[in-house]
């Protein structure tokens, strides 16, 4: 059964039994019922939390809570994409190649080229992990950096990068990036006007004079890895207990790039919290 789930009601006991058996999460027994715990409509998706009950002979380790992610609105057929969303590609091709990874387990990922509809069925980690409220603690930031390091290390100069996972920039794309950066700077400087000092204008000019050199390294595997692309601290789930690890979610913008870019993005968008004072 490969149909895309338009809503939580499509995840019937029969369907979930098949999915969990296919993933090795249910070796005996069956799903008895599926309850809807919550449903939240977000800007980029609709997330539904499902509570699963099983027949008495089912595996004790079978997941009791699942997380269903679908588009924020049903796509019109004329707006359907020829390729699945990047997050579907990630969980179907990338995550599956990372044993014991700091990712939510994916039980099902599907996309319909005809309708444009898609769904992700993930492990609901709300009992063991939580998102940061406000700025994460220093210890939580350390866990987030460790998670990035695990992912970057696994894919560092990996032979599949640029082959069947991700892609490298072409010479034409590198040149286009350089041209766009110069054009964007001109627009920026025009808007800022006299508020942009001569010193800063000279710095910008020196940086722009190096283009397209900064992007040439993105045209080959050397020194590259797989990056998240939106690794701010609120895209991590932090463990509720000590000795756990942070889980990185929302993989819509993944691509091959310089690993340090994820870390720089995290630090720039949400400065790391200072260490907690000793008690």
Over residues 99-122, the pLDDT tens digits come to 899 999 999 999 998 888 999 999
pLDDT in tens, the chain (279 residues): 568 998 999 999 999 999 999 999 999 999 999 999 999 998 889 999 999 999 999 999 999 999 999 998 766 665 566 789 999 999 999 999 998 999 999 999 999 988 889 999 999 999 999 999 888 999 999 999 999 999 999 999 999 999 999 999 999 999 999 999 999 999 999 999 999 999 999 999 999 999 888 889 999 999 999 999 999 999 999 999 988 999 999 999 999 999 999 999 998 887 554 554 443
Over residues 47-66, the pLDDT tens digits come to 999 999 999 999 999 999 99
Residue with tokens 């079978």, as numbered in its chain: 62
Written out in words, the top-level CATH class of the domain with range 8-122 is alpha beta
- The C-alpha atoms of residue 26 and residue 54 are separated, in whole angstroms, by 10
Any idea which fold 129-165+220-269 has?
Transferase(Phosphotransferase); domain 1 (1.10.510)
pTM exceeds 0.85: yes
Strand-by-strand arrangement of the 46-54 sheet: 31-41, 46-54, 65-70, 118-123, 106-111
Q: Where are the domains of the chain?
A: 8-122, 129-165+220-269, 172-214
- The C-alpha atoms of residue 166 and residue 162 are separated, in whole angstroms, by 5
């Amino acid at each position: 059964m490969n149909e895309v789930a338009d809503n939580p009601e499509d995840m019937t006991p029969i369907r979930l039994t098949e999915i969990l058996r296919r993933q090795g999460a249910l070796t005996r027994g069956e799903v008895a019922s599926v309850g809807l715990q919550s449903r939240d409509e977000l800007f980029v998706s609709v997330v539904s939390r499902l509570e699963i009950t099983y027949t008495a002979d089912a595996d004790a380790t079978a997941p009791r809570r699942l997380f269903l992610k679908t588009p924020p609105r049903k796509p019109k057929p004329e707006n359907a994409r020829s390729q699945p969303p990047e997050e579907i590609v990630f969980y179907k091709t990338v995550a599956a190649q990372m044993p014991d990874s700091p990712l939510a387990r994916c039980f099902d990922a599907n996309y319909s080229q005809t309708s444009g509809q898609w769904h992700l069925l993930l492990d609901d980690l709300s009992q063991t992990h939580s998102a940061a409220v406000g700025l994460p603690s220093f210890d939580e930031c350390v866990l987030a950096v460790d998670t990035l390091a695990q992912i970057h290390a696994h894919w560092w100069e990996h032979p599949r990068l640029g082959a069947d996972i991700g892609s490298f920039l072409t010479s034409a794309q590198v040149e286009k990036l350089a041209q766009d950066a110069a054009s964007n700077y001109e627009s920026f400087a025009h808007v800022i006007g006299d508020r942009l000092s001569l010193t800063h204008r000279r710095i910008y000019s020196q940086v722009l004079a190096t283009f397209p050199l900064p992007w040439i390294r993105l045209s080959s595997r050397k020194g590259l890895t797989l990056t998240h692309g939106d690794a701010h601290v609120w895209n991590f789930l932090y463990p509720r207990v000590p000795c756990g690890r942070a889980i990185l979610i929302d993989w819509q913008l993944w691509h091959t790039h310089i690993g340090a870019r994820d870390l720089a993005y995290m630090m720039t968008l949400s400065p790391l919290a200072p260490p907690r004072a000793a008690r």
